[in-house]
Amino acid sequence: AIRMTQSPSSLSASTGDRVTITCRASQGISSYLAWYQQKPGKAPKLLIYAASTLQSGVPSRFSGSGSGTDFTLTISCLQSEDFATYYCQQYYSYLPITFGQGTRLEIK
Amino acid sequence: EVQLVESGGGLVQPGGSLRLSCAASGFTFSSYSMNWVRQAPGKGLEWVSYISSSSSTIYYADSVKGRFTISRDNAKNSLYLQMNSLRAEDTAVYYCARDLYSGSYFPDYWGQGTLVTVSS
């Protein structure tokens, strides 16, 4: 199975900050990577797929980049509603589909 | 509006069985592949199973292979997960999730989840 490792596991930031979350795959996955946002008690929400394609309706302050094994999710200007847990997911190998362990973004 | 509504969760003893259902509406269910994804309390996301739009392709995570069975009824716009030989480590919120497009292997819409608790 392809292992996805996110860093950091948790992050404290303030409204208006620019933050970057990293996701590393244990082997090359081309651009077959998605990012999700999850708030407590809620289902995950798709933010980005194909490493850098913004899902419809997602604010442009979210962006993704990378290919191969190293990927980043950047939030350019944090808003209060962005404090949540973020997960990456690879779909290069669907046996099995795997997620990163999550990055919890907290208010400083 | 796309809606996915899971049901069937609850408390079950180890070794027991449970059948989860997911009622889909607001889109052409038969045109989309579907997934079950679970999340243990306080933990991350774990993909459980995938089924193609026509049920011709089915995949399972190793952790549930041989114990869980995914199925769908396109006439009823419904997705199912039959869970047998349940273990404590199967305790989780189970989400039904629709792929962005058939065969994309990443979901865009998720249900609200149904909690399965395996405990004596």
Question: pLDDT tens for residues B32-89?
Answer: 999 999 999 999 999 999 999 999 999 999 999 999 999 999 999 999 999 999 999 9
Q: What is residue A55's DSSP assignment?
A: P
Q: Work out the pLDDT band at A108, boundaries 50, 70, 90.
A: confident
Q: Work out the pLDDT band at B10, boundaries 50, 70, 90.
A: very high
The helix (run of H) or strand (run of E) holding residue B46 is strand B45-51
Question: Given this model, what pLDDT does residue A94 score?
Answer: 81
Q: Do A99 and B61 touch (CB under 8 A)?
A: no
- Reference A90, options A42, A16, A30, A22; nearest CA is A30
Output the average pLDDT for chain A.
97
Mean per-residue pLDDT, A88-99? 94
Q: Do A43 and B110 touch (CB under 8 A)?
A: yes
The helix (run of H) or strand (run of E) holding residue A38 is strand A33-38
- Which chain B residues have any C-beta within 8 angstroms of a chain A C-beta? 35, 44-47, 50, 59, 61-62, 95, 97, 100, 104-108, 110-113
- B81 close to B34: Cβ distance less than 8 angstroms: no
Mean per-residue pLDDT, A72-90? 96
Q: Does the pLDDT of residue B2 top 90, yes or no?
A: yes
Q: What is residue B39's DSSP assignment?
A: E
- B10 close to B18: Cβ distance less than 8 angstroms: yes
Q: Nearest C-alpha of chain A: how many angstroms from B4?
A: 11
Q: How many CB pairs under 8 A join A and B?
A: 54
Chain B residues with CB under 8 Å of A42 CB are 112
Longest dimension (CA), chain B: 40
Q: Work out the pLDDT band at A95, boundaries 50, 70, 90.
A: confident
Q: What is residue B42's DSSP assignment?
A: T
Output the average pLDDT for chain B.
97
Question: pLDDT tens for residues A1-16?
Answer: 999 999 999 999 999 9
Mean per-residue pLDDT, B15-28? 98
